């Protein structure tokens, strides 16, 4: 009989995680390292690779490498594949976590639909969808050679449902069309890949709800009132979903979108 501990054990496997030094990315790599996986950190040049790697090595004695890559650049993505292929060990787990989220100062982003710009749309699609496609394509042969090849794409509740714009009233926050469209595309790409890469690679998604990051009080109160569990998410809320989908705990699960949203989409 196989134990739960054995099913969750990732010793000997190697995980490539994009956006690995960000808020959610750090929890993802912490989770995978705790379960025994080797880690490849991927994030933009200048990210805190050393700090994240040091933490993983000290806490979990993890084997960690880092590859700086701006996923908006096709040229840098190609260099990423070349470097991964040159290293020993291949890839057993791919987590497409990096996302173009912009900010209120980005032209054509947090504004009315009429004010949103095609050039900003293209940047979001490039990082949030095109890069995910290319990373899955590039890593597919390595994942297929693994006994537990798994892709986890990070979606969003806004890839599932439309926004409630009243949440953002009287704040500088917003909900750009490009973010929602790209995340919706990621979820459909997940389903497409699940059937295409089967039976050797499992492909699933996690769609987070809103994560508390010191947003304006008025927004937080509105969001919490609309959420059945009565609070916004923390980064730690996603650790269980990552552990489940990365490991053999989900060996018979593919093509699924696990909503970790406090019940936001259950209304």
Contact 235, 26 (CB under 8 A): yes
Q: Which of 130, 18, 138 is nearest to 85 (CA)?
A: 138
Strands 93-96 and 64-68: unpaired
Q: Which residues sit opposite 202 in a β-bridge?
A: 150
Q: Taking the C-alpha atoms of 201, 93, 260 and 220 in order, what is their torsion angle to the nearest 10 degrees?
A: -140
**Of residues 179, 212, 223, 244, which has the active-site annotation?**
179
> Residue 258 belongs to what H/E stretch?
strand 257-260
Number of C-alpha atoms within 13 angstroms, CB side, residue 239? Answer: 14
Tell me whether residue 179 is one of the annotated catalytic residues. Answer: yes
Q: If DSSP codes are grouped into helix, strand and coil, which group holds residue 233?
A: strand
Active site residues: 179
């Amino acid at each position: 009989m196989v134990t739960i501990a054995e099913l969750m054990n990732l010793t000997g496997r190697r995980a490539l995680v994009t956006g690995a030094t960000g808020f959610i990315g750090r929890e993802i790599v912490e989770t995978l390292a705790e379960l025994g996986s080797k880690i490849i950190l991927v994030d933009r040049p200048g990210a805190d690779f050393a700090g994240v790697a040091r933490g993983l090595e000290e806490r979990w004695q993890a084997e960690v490498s880092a590859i700086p890559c701006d996923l908006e650049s096709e040229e840098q993505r190609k260099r990423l594949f070349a470097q991964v292929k040159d290293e020993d060990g291949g890839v057993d787990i791919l987590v497409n976590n990096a996302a173009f989220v912009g900010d209120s100062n980005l032209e054509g982003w947090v504004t009315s639909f009429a004010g949103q710009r095609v050039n900003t749309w293209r940047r979001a699609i490039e990082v949030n969808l095109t890069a995910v496609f290319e990373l899955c394509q590039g890593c597919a042969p390595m994942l297929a050679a693994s006994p537990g090849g798994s892709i986890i794409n990070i979606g969003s509740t806004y890839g599932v449902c439309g926004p409630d714009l009243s949440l953002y009233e009287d704040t500088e926050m917003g909900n750009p069309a490009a973010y929602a469209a790209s995340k919706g595309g990621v979820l459909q790409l997940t389903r497409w890949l699940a059937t295409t890469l089967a039976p050797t690679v499992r492909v699933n998604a996690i769609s987070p709800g809103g994560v508390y990051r010191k947003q304006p009080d008025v927004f937080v109160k509105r969001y919490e009132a609309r959420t059945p569990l009565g609070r916004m998410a923390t980064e730690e809320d996603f650790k269980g979903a990552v552990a489940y989908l990365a490991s053999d705990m989900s060996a018979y699960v593919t093509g699924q979108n696990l909503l970790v949203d406090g019940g936001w989409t259950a209304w």
